[in-house]
Structure 1
Amino acid sequence: MTKDCDKVVLATRKSPLALRQAELASSALQRTIGAEVEILPLSTTGDQRLEWSLEQEGGKGLFTKELEVALLDGRADLAVHSAKDMPTDLPQGLALAGYLPRADPRDVLVIRDEVEVPRVIATGSPRRRAQILHGSWSDAEVREIRGNVGTRLRKIAEDREADATILAAAGLRRLGIDGFPGLRFECLALETMVPAPGQAAIALQCREDEIDNFTSACDPVTAEEVDFERSVLATIGGGCQVAVGIHRKGDRVYLFDGTGEGLFKQVDLTGIPYPASIDRTLSCLGRK
């Protein structure tokens, strides 16, 4: 795409949530740069291999590679990702143009109505698994679960594969899901279930030489916070397989490190500029 082009091809995964996020990105692009948008749905390795454990297979990149290939070979001008699914190292020639305004970053405990305290909780996320075991449900059994949002809800409510699961509030809201027969939804505080870096942010990825074409569709506040979270994660050297939670909200950073004793911490960065803010956060995690 050039600045004179009036059409943008937008690559996305095929899941209902991914397609909804692509629609939100399309609306933002039409509103800000006036472009016609064509959505290009693609199937990723992570979507196809539902029998894989994301923790064992490495997690991140499984949901982005095919979209990035479409950018590199010219089939797409932009790729829409859930920011939390993106590796911190991007392929040569690609960059992040930015992010749409971040939605509610919290996680939601989805639990069967008749269950008071969940004894079996299903999640495919190492971060959530570690916080379950180090937090309010330390006695619970944690089981693997895969599939899109609707599939996971049915696995809990109808198939009774577990007492509960944990899902992102942003995903539920974007899909218009505020309830499900036989289940109740309980939002979890940031202090007790720290989100993944980039959680609730929709990332727009493009070719490096075309960043300026799309920045007007992006939110600078979200970019400042998510780029900080990703920088901390990159310094740690982690990905989806690492049990780390990092969430920045203004000058406050919520942290969870499940690689050791499962520490929950908060850092006040008031008056601390970048990159000293990264150093302060890493020190709090015992990583510097």
Structure 2
Amino acid sequence: MTATTLIATRKSPLALKQTAMVRACLAEKLPEQRFENLELNTKVDERLNWSLEKRGGIGLFTKELEEALIERRAELAIHSAKDMPTVLPEGLSIAGYLSRARVNDVLVHRKDSPNPKIIASSSPRRRIQVSLLYPDTKWTTIRGNVGSRLRKIADGECEASLLAAAGLDRLDITAFDGLEFIELSVEQVVPAPGQAAIAVQCRSEDLAKYKDLFCIETKLAVTLEKTFLKRLGSGCQIPVGAYYKEGAFQIYHPKVGHQTFNITLMAIDQIEHEIDIVMEQLRII
């Protein structure tokens, strides 16, 4: 009889889509195993009146899933990499990442507000960088999954909001009645560390089973970005952007603005040294 491997996931449409993508990858790599979802409610999903900014953001979307791993109710957990804290709970590891998707942020605005003045976002990183593009912006917040946020924009709760391109792509959303989608370049808005990457988490004791199944290129890039964030002592509610691709490490920090560093990244054990060099040049801590 084939053993069933339970995968912890949130219940939102995007979380379930991302988990389905991981399951498809695992089914191809481990055809002898059977995988099923363990769908969990998280406090942050249930309490839509919570301010993510005031609560710090760190681990808000991952805590219940990690508890399922620690309590051995699940063997794997699936996260958006950008939501993960830079320090994992003891006994847990990142098994790997799927190949990264489009990393850009997308400005979604009402068609009758082509130059939006009221933009909804709880992300300090997005707020500070988008304010450079739209200096007269007044900021507000909306909560909910991708579909409900699009409806709230269309219904006039704000004139615009910012969404991750990867989430829209994974949900096959290319249009919405009354709304226009504008992709912001990485040069305009540097993504959050880990943005557009799907992380697969496991217990450290099980790491050997899974660590060679996923995308090494994405692992190198996200590890570099998260190591930079960790050096700053920052969680996802600090206005820091970091993105690595093909030798270019682009960062945003409010003290230095947008900066690009040339790094030829070949191995995980190279990352600490490369971040040493970046931090020495920036001198921001």
Distance (Å, rounded) in 2 between the aligned partners of 1:54 and 1:188: 23
Please state how far the C-alpha of 1:197 moved relative to its aligned partner.
0.3
Q: Which of the numbers 214, 220, 224 marks the counterpart of 1:224?
A: 220
Matched, 1:267 2:264: no
Distance (Å, rounded) in 1 between the aligned partners of 2:240 and 2:180: 27
Distance (Å, rounded) in 1 between the aligned partners of 2:122 and 2:8: 25
* One-letter amino acid of the counterpart of residue 165, structure 1: S
Mapping of 1:43-82 within 5 angstroms? 43-82=41-80
* One-letter amino acid of the counterpart of residue 263, structure 1: G
Change (3 A) 1:60 1:5: farther
Output the aligned Cα RMSD.
Answer: 1.7
Matched, 1:279 2:276: yes
Q: Which moved more, 1:58-67 or 1:274-283?
A: 274-283
Mapping of 1:128-147 within 5 angstroms? 128-133=126-131, 135-147=132-144
Distance (Å, rounded) in 1 between the aligned partners of 2:213 and 2:34: 14
Tell me the number of residue pairs that the alignment of Structure 1 and Structure 2 aligns: 281
**1:225/1:250 contact within 8 Å kept:** no
Please state how far the C-alpha of 1:217 moved relative to its aligned partner.
2.7
Question: What SS class does the counterpart of residue 242 from structure 1 fall into?
Answer: coil
* One-letter amino acid of the counterpart of residue 114, structure 1: D
**2:97/2:200 contact within 8 Å kept:** yes
Q: Provide TM-score, normalisation by structure 2.
A: 0.94
Structure 1: 5+ residue stretches without partners: none
**2:227/2:272 contact within 8 Å kept:** no
Q: Which moved more, 1:264-273 or 1:56-65?
A: 264-273
Q: Which of the numbers 150, 153, 159 marks the counterpart of 2:150?
A: 153
Please state how far the C-alpha of 1:53 moved relative to its aligned partner.
0.9
Distance (Å, rounded) in 1 between the aligned partners of 2:265 and 2:237: 33
**2:99/2:215 contact within 8 Å kept:** yes
Please state how far the C-alpha of 1:284 moved relative to its aligned partner.
4.3
Distance (Å, rounded) in 2 between the aligned partners of 1:121 and 1:264: 22
Please state how far the C-alpha of 1:6 moved relative to its aligned partner.
4.1
Distance (Å, rounded) in 2 between the aligned partners of 1:217 and 1:124: 34
Mapping of 1:184-203 within 5 angstroms? 184-203=180-199
Identity across matched positions, percent: 46
**1:33/1:217 contact within 8 Å kept:** no
Structure 2: 5+ residue stretches without partners: none
* One-letter amino acid of the counterpart of residue 147, structure 2: G
**2:265/2:271 contact within 8 Å kept:** no
Structure 2 match to 1:22:
19
Structure 2 match to 1:125:
123
Question: What SS class does the counterpart of residue 176 from structure 2 fall into?
Answer: coil
